[in-house]
Structure 1
Amino acid sequence: MIEGYLSHESVTAGGRLDIHVSTDAPFFKVDFHRVGAEHEFAGTTGWLPGSQSSVPEHPDGIAGHASPTVDWRWPAHPFTIPAQWRPGVYVGFLVTSEDTGDYDKNDLTGFEKLCFVLRSSVPGMNRILYKRSTFTRHAYNRSDAPGIERASSLYDNPVYTSRGHKVSMRRPGHIEDVAYWDAPFIAWLERSGYQVDFCTDLDLHADPGLLSSYRLLLSVGHDEYWTERMRDAVEAFVGGGGNVAFFSANTCWWRVHLTDGDTAFVTDTDHRAGDEYPHLPATDLWWAPDGAGRPENTLTGVSFRNGGMWQWPGGWPADRPCPGFTVQHPGHWVFEGTGLQAGSALGAGLPLIGYECDGAAFAYDEHGVARATGTDGTPDSFLILGIAVLEPVHDDFFDLRAGHWNCVSREAGRTGPRAATMGVHTRNGTVFTAATTDWPMIVARGGDAALDRVTRNVLDRLSI
């Protein structure tokens, strides 16, 4: 058995990573592969001495569950990134001296993997910056291992502090997000000839000026947790003429606060008030007036509270309807070369909508065209280019289907429909939102020429 985590998830060539590992094998190594159209072997640590380390107990004394809040402080093995390694996303495969046979370098699921971003040493060598949504991974990381369910995360047996739930980013766990969203889309980008630089959430938080070197920022997959510095930086980027493509959803839903030297974060996703639990809205909801008070719509054009999710029954990501987006305004540049007409279905027959999706509050005009009302903070310039009305809708805390437990029951006067609304708005810079988490995965899978072309149109137009 072997588990591990990295001291940091972002570094430049020549920089050092500390690899923290616990194993019952006498020796182990880490083989590194660069994610791309083909996963390329980059190098190895060589054999290192193995040792098994203890797991910090849950501070609430919950038997069998580890603490999600602290640095696990496993033995560190320093590794310097060779100067010749190309910028990109890298996966490290943990291999023990007792392993037999070759591993599948294309299998990024499971727990014996590590992931980091190798940033460009000269920001802006490419015009597109791809941001890995690392805070989301850590929020949901249960620190499980093969045969061991520790079930400790921001949501599983959470630890309450005066500021909210807390999670450390120095714990072992899986990299399923890379396997599901990032690796397929990065491969598609590379096959399609797009050259991009990479960063993490923490990079953008630490250096808001990073964006000034780029024309287009990409948010991919599930980009749920943002610090105020991240939000401020992206707002300023757009206000100054920079562009953003949100190939993501549930985007900027929770505000997080970094702590412990930027190795952990806290966020109030729910809390108790007397006997009421959960007491909502939580204070770190971006949209809530008694939360952050800055609706995510003002940046993205859309919000999860107007969208929803398909998750149960059937597991993750679950079977779901495949209606695609009903096209509006087919003459818009986003649809150039697709041949789509008003009323056409973009992505029909594919699980494009979900598993989580965002929307703008909208109403139909006299011509049956959905238009954003702006009542939720969506900018007046937001143009709904595609719409997928979500049915059925359930709001039961324990029966999530479409909709979300932080949404409608906290806006009792709201009666409008919910939908995924793909669209675009401009405020000096241009913001495109796909309004669904699974856009990058479905594009990478192929099979829909119009969806492929829309994605290229967005990248080509907004990166110049």
Structure 2
Amino acid sequence: MGRESVTLGGEMTLHISTDAPRFRLRFYRLGDTLAFVGESGEFPGGVHPAPDHPDGLPGRASPADDWEWPPLTLPVPEEWNQGIHLVEFVECGAPGGRGNPPLLDLGHLEGYAREFFVVRPRVAGSRSRILYKKSTFTRHAYNRSDRPGLDRAVSLYDHPVHRPGGAGEPRGHKVSLHRPGGVIDLAYWDAPFIGWLERHGYPVEYATDLDLHEDPGLLASYDLLLSVGHDEYWSGRMRAHAEAFVREGGNIAFLSANTCWWRVHPTDGNTAFVSDTDHHVGEEYPHLPATDQWWTPSPDGVGNPENSLTGVSFRNGGMWAAADWPGDRPRFGYTVQHAGHWIYEGTGLRDGSAGGTPDRLGAGTSLIGYEVDGAAYAYDDAGTARATGEDGTPESFLILGIHVLEPVHDDFHHFKWGHWNTVVREETITSPHAATMGLYTAPGPTGGTVFTAGTTDWPVVCGHEQDPAVVRVTRNLLDRLRHRLR
């Protein structure tokens, strides 16, 4: 895609390379079903090479450079409904080509020869006061530019490119947004939750990370911002705009984890980004310390802990290392705290305050993981975990659910098989790592409310309705925060 966000009645730009003599495009909208919305005519095909990897790696393309495939510009019909859409590439006339394959459905959402894009209404907030932010910077960081039959394995994680900076470009690992890939994260995290939202009558509008980065007024049209699944990479402007939104009474629900872990710097007219991370290039770290880590004190990092916005941090949480992503995981769920809080209304869950054993939210499901965030905490005399605030978590953060992760292993690059692990933490934080669910209200007369699920897989468990209490908590959350409280 030339740009992943387009407007009803506007135009979209696609970039396609194929050895098929001709091709056509099918379009779908993602909701409770994958609804077919139209098909293009045929276009002539053409093969266009991928740029070589700048480090001269044989068989690898560049993850850092624009692939400069020629553009194909098409109108976005006014009669389409706003939302997340897919475009599917269909070969025509090639020997052994697919000809007229069956339409895609939700069971075949993941794969190559397809791409997603966000269709926005002409007037922001005209259809809903809830904005669903698709985590597109994170998607591009992990995109390996693979295709059927060819494992290119080039991304910020696989054979990355590190640039020294200069001439207006910051130092760090560079990733181009103009590369091919496929649909993976959308199928796992977003699709189940988007379907659930539509089934249960929650209209939402959609935007991308780049939309939030570029438009300081975007959030003024909404009362609730949703961050869903895996939302690891944030620009400074994204974060500044979200923080201003909360100060002015807007609400955020982080149904995500590993959230706001790395800062990114959009470059090249916002068609690429640079992030100074701790990822290997070959066998070496090109630059340490990684200065785009949000929480690390300046000058070794940004010096602005992510949990001052989200309430939690990956450095106090962990992840489940498994060869078969996302892997099977412990199914304990969250130990319930403050069961009388409105978030638990109608669940019937108990917190043990009457002398019994506290219930667990999401018990029997893989709610915890595959990555989780947490807050530094201590237990009071009643055995309730309370945030200490020593890691930057707001003082008003209320821990509503907690799951202690054991054992902990502090080396990100040498995970223990089959155990919870973490990345890094301050030496002064002594509380065990724990997945943490909770919320806080920003200070001041107009401060909004921020909820965090503390786990990447909340939208999966809710979307597939694997646990009635998780579903009810989500409904309580949306019903209360979809309108500004102040």
Range class of TM-score, shorter chain: over 0.9
Name the CA distance, whole Å, in 2 between partners of 1:58 and 1:276: 17
Distance 2:475 2:134 in 1: 20
1:127-186 per-residue CA deviation (whole Å, 9 max, x = no partner) reads: 100000000010000101112111111121111112100000000002201100111111
More off after superposition, 92-101 vs 73-82: 92-101
1:399 equivalent in alignment to 2:452: no
Asked whether the equivalents of residues 437 and 454 of structure 2 are also in contact (C-alpha less than 8 Å), the reply is: yes
Alignment of 1:79-158 (within 5 A): 79-97=74-92, 98-100=97-99, 101-106=101-106, 107-125=108-126, 126-158=128-160
Post-superposition Cα deviations, 1:260-279, rounded to whole Å, max 9, x if no partner, equal 0000000011279xx98476
Structure 2 residue 348 is the aligned partner of structure 1 residue 339:
yes
Amino acid at match of 1:420: A
> How far off its partner does 1:78 sit?
1.1
Q: TM-score, normalised by structure 1?
A: 0.95
Shift of 1:403: 3.0
**Amino-acid identity (%):** 60
Counterparts in 2 of 1:290-329, with a 5 A limit? 290-312=300-322, 314-329=323-338
- Residue in structure 2 matched with residue 449 of structure 1 by the alignment: 468
Deviations 1:390-435 (A, max 9, x none): 1222223222642333x14xx3444320001000000110000000
1:166 maps to which residue? 174
Amino acid in the other structure paired with 1:129: L
Distance 2:414 2:324 in 1: 14
Structure 1: which amino acid aligns with 2:457?
Answer: D
Which amino acid is the alignment partner of residue 153 of structure 2? A
Separation in structure 1 between the aligned mates of residue 343 and residue 105 of structure 2, nearest angstrom: 36
How large is the RMSD of aligned CA atoms in angstroms? 1.6
Structure 2 counterparts to residues 48-447 of structure 1, below 5 A: 48-97=43-92, 98-100=97-99, 101-106=101-106, 107-125=108-126, 126-162=128-164, 163-270=171-278, 277=285, 280-289=288-297, 290-312=300-322, 314-342=323-351, 343-396=358-411, 397-399=413-415, 401-405=419-423, 407-408=424-425, 411-427=426-442, 428-447=447-466
> Which among 478, 482, 485 is matched to residue 459 of structure 1?
478
1:298 is paired with a residue whose SS is helix
**Range moving further from structure 2, 106-115 or 194-203:** 106-115
Secondary structure of the residue that 2:459 maps to in structure 1? helix
* Structure 1 unaligned spans of 5+: 1-5
- Decide which moves more: 391-400 or 231-240: 391-400
Cα contact 2:162–2:286 (8 A) shared by 1? no
How far apart in 1 are the matches of 2:117 and 2:392? 35
Cα distance in structure 1, aligned partners of 2:144 and 2:360: 38
Q: Aligned equivalents of 1:260 and 1:218: distance in 2?
A: 28
Deviations 1:63-116 (A, max 9, x none): 010000111111221111011111000011111112143143321111111110
| Residues 314-368 of structure 1: per-residue CA shift (max 9 Å, x gap) | 4100111010000000011100111110011000000000000100001111111
The letter of the residue matching 1:380 is E
In 2, the alpha carbon distance for the partners of 1:227 and 1:365 equals 37
Q: Which amino acid aligns with 1:270?
A: D
**Aligned residues of 2:156 and 2:279 also touching (Cα < 8 A):** no
Superposition misfits of 4+ residues, deviation over 2 angstroms: 103-106, 275-281, 400-405, 411-416
Aligned residue among 9, 12, 15 for 2:7: 12
In structure 1, what is the Cα distance between the partners aligned to 2:8 and 2:151? 36
- Equivalent position of 1:3 in the other structure: none
Give the whole-Å Cα distance in 2 for the aligned partners of 1:13 and 1:113: 20
Distance in 1, matches of 2:380 and 2:75, equals: 60
Distance 1:279 1:22 in 2: 35
Partner of 2:17, secondary structure, is: strand
CA-to-aligned-CA distance 1:203-234 (integer Å, 9 cap, x gap): 00110211001000000000011011100000
Moved more, 394-403 or 416-425: 394-403
Deviation for aligned residue 1:280: 4.8
Q: Any conservation in 1 of the 2:390–2:429 contact (CA below 8 Å)?
A: no
Do the aligned partners of 1:182 and 1:221 also contact (CA within 8 Å) in 2? yes
Whether the 8 Å contact between 1:135 and 1:201 is mirrored in structure 2 is: yes
1:68, 1:277 → 2: CA distance?
A: 17
The question of whether the paired residues in 1 share the 8 Å contact of 2:415 and 2:421 is answered with: no
Distance 2:35 2:275 in 1: 37
Counterpart Cα distance in 2 of 1:148 and 1:375: 48
Structure 1 residue aligned with 2:355: none
- Cα distance in 2 for partners of 1:267, 1:59 equals 17
Q: Distance in 2 between matches of 1:392 and 1:120?
A: 47
SS of 2:420 mapped into structure 1: coil
Partner SS state of residue 139, structure 2:
helix
Residue 58 of structure 2 aligns to a residue whose secondary structure is: coil
- Structure 2 residue matching 1:208: 3-state secondary structure: coil
